[in-house]
Amino acid sequence: MTQRCVLLLGGSFDPVHCGHVAIARYFCTLLHPDELRLIPAGHPWQKPTMTTPAEHRIAMLNLAFNDWMVPIVIDTQEVARSGASYAVDTLHVLREELGHEVALVMLLGADQLLNLHTWRDWRALFDLANICVAARPGFALDNHVMDDDIEREFTRRRATESQVRDTPHGLTYIANDLALPVSSTTVRKALADHNQAVLAGLIPLPVLDYVQQHHLYQTAH
């Protein structure tokens, strides 16, 4: 059995929304990790422009994950990194820091899974971490829009939650009952439009207060 399990949730968090909180809560409840590490993006190569400076995004993470069920670490390595950020580089750094016996579990949304074949050295991700995906009800790996190589890798590596919890890397798990009908783009537009009806339930209240206090997202993006 592995000594420790660390969940990794990366993203632009621009802003932090209830979808981020929901995927973290789901897998924290499922896997009972020793730590949840939140990794705000610095200069993600697939998102060359960031709406909000890192200090605001980090502050929003602190608010959204305050008094969490497991210890929280906000890892700023990608923010501090010069040049483009790649997940494989971040995982290499974490392995050096945390050791090779720890179960590292990278959390993804279904949209990220569908684009995973475009990530740098995506096959190497399995040598460094397990990958858990939050998918909408009815999501299937054999969906015709998924890359064939990704489908094969995820199928052959499918594991139970206990196996993922106790294995350092190389396994996959898909939660088919976690609907996350929210995106940062939708939230930013609702904030810019002052659309309180749309915002209800999409963004944690402490984050909303922070956004309004600092006059963030005043124009639509």
Whether the bond between 15 and the residue before it is cis, its omega within 30 degrees of 0, is: yes
Dist CA 158 CA 140 (whole Å): 13
Q: Of the candidates 185, 216, 196, 202, which has an alpha carbon nearest to the alpha carbon of residue 59? A: 216
Predicted TM-score (pTM) of the model is 0.92
**Residue 150 class from Cβ within 10 Å (0-12 exposed, 13-18 middle, 19+ buried)?**
buried
pLDDT at residue 9, as a whole number:
98
Q: Of the candidates 121, 88, 91, which has an alpha carbon nearest to the alpha carbon of residue 104? A: 91
Enumerate the β-bridge partners of residue 50: none
Q: In what order do the strands lie in the sheet with 172-175?
A: 72-74, 35-40, 5-11, 103-109, 130-134, 172-175
pLDDT at residue 159, as a whole number:
97
Dist CA 75 CA 91 (whole Å): 12
Domains present along the chain, CATH in parentheses: 5-180 (3.40.50.620)
pLDDT at residue 221, as a whole number:
47
pLDDT at residue 196, as a whole number:
83
DSSP letters along 75-95, please? --HHHHSSS-B-HHHHHHHHH
**Mean pLDDT in each 10-residue stretch from start to end of the chain (221 residues)?**
87 92 95 98 66 93 97 96 89 97 95 91 98 79 77 95 97 86 83 84 92 86 47
Residue 157, SS3?
Answer: coil
Dist CA 10 CA 90 (whole Å): 10
